[in-house]
Amino acid sequence: MKKYIASTPNIMGGAPVIAGTRIPITVIIYRLKEGYTVNDIHHMYPWVSLKKLEAVLNELAEKMAHNQNGQKILQT
């Protein structure tokens, strides 16, 4: 599985970002919370493909659905 979320000490102080960018994941989450759609966010950052934004959200959901030991904690 390709990794779409990266965390590197020399990029944005190690905050999780969209891989290959300096866009923090928290910015994407706050935009969604504010009512923006994925398409809206894509228009804000046109160099990030819609497919990549959707993959970021899928990866984030997967990370949130498992604890640190890899055990699934959320079932849909």
Per-residue pLDDT band for 63 (boundaries 50, 70, 90) equals confident
Query: What's the Cα-to-Cα distance from 12 to each of 15, 24, 34, 60, 75, rounded to whole Å?
Result: 6, 8, 22, 18, 32
pLDDT over 60 (residue 31)? yes
Mean pLDDT of 36-53: 97
Q: What is the pTM of this model?
A: 0.81
Domain limits, the chain: 5-64
Tell me the fold of 5-64: Arc Repressor Mutant, subunit A (1.10.10)
Residues 6+ positions from 10 with CB-CB distance below 8 Å: none
Neighbours of 25 (CB within 10 A): 21
What pLDDT was estimated at residue 68? 64
Q: What is the pLDDT of residues 12-26, one digit of tens each?
A: 999 999 999 999 999
